[in-house]
Amino acid sequence: MSGELEPKNVYASGKVTAGQERKVRRVDFRLRCEARENHELATRFRSHAGCFVLLSNAPSTEACNAGQATSAAKAGRSRCRWSASECLQAYKEQHGVENSFSFLKEPLIVNDVFLKKPGRIDALGLVLLFSLLVWNLMQRSMRKSVEHQPELRLTDLDHKPTKRPTAFIMVHKFLSVIILKMGSHRRLARPLRRDQIQYLRALA
């Protein structure tokens, strides 16, 4: 950084008689600076800022080349080589899974469950995980159907068309469905609406 002092005259107020110069009341000095980038230092700081440390057990290219991959990877059941960018991308995409698990932390689910045995807690956790799996599979199936079947017209909770339906919207669409049971037979209390039928087709 370099700079210099720049003087600036501050004149007295009032009118000036013709032929005379305005009286200088004082002289102020301002510092005029010019910043220059230190390219070597800036490059080093950018390199540190762009460094993302991520620990992973995914085998690297060097490990695969050295024959240290697992038998499952050699059999083709899992990927053998993971580049740094691929590991980082997979890590960044985990927010979708984290959002799905957020319902397990709700007080209504966690605080109101009283189980005496650890085995029952494990069983409940397994049931919740399977429920989450089905929930996400329904959502994935609907979005795939909308992508490959343009004739499907799915709407959100505000009855507006949507290309990204969710399982939450679908469940709310069917809250009004009433099933009547007569002996061993079951039937709907009223016919399904058009939007409900569209969601069923998207799940097929």
Q: Could you read off the pLDDT of 115-128 as tens digits, one per residue?
A: 788 888 888 888 88
Work out the average pLDDT over 90-115: 72
Res 77: pLDDT: 43
Three-class secondary structure of residue 141 per DSSP: helix
Q: How many CB atoms are located within 10 Å of the residue 12 CB?
A: 10
Res 70: pLDDT: 45
Res 69: pLDDT: 42
Res 65: pLDDT: 55
Work out the average pLDDT over 123-152: 89
- Could you report the per-residue pLDDT of 46-94, keeping only the tens digit for each? 888 777 777 877 776 555 555 544 444 444 444 567 787 888 888 887 7
Place of tokens 């995980």: 129
| CA neighbor of 99 nearest in space, from 136, 124, 145, 137 | 136
The more confidently predicted of residues 116 and 186 is 186
**Res 162 pLDDT > 80:** yes
- Could you report the per-residue pLDDT of 172-182, keeping only the tens digit for each? 999 989 999 98
DSSP 53-67: -----S--HHHHHTT
Res 112: pLDDT: 66
Determine the longest span between alpha carbons in the chain, in angstroms: 116
In one-letter notation, the amino acid at residue 8 is: K
How many CA atoms does the CB half-sphere of 74 hold within 13 Å?
Answer: 9
- What would you report as the CA-atom Rg of the chain, rounded to the nearest whole angstrom? 34
pTM of the complete model: 0.52
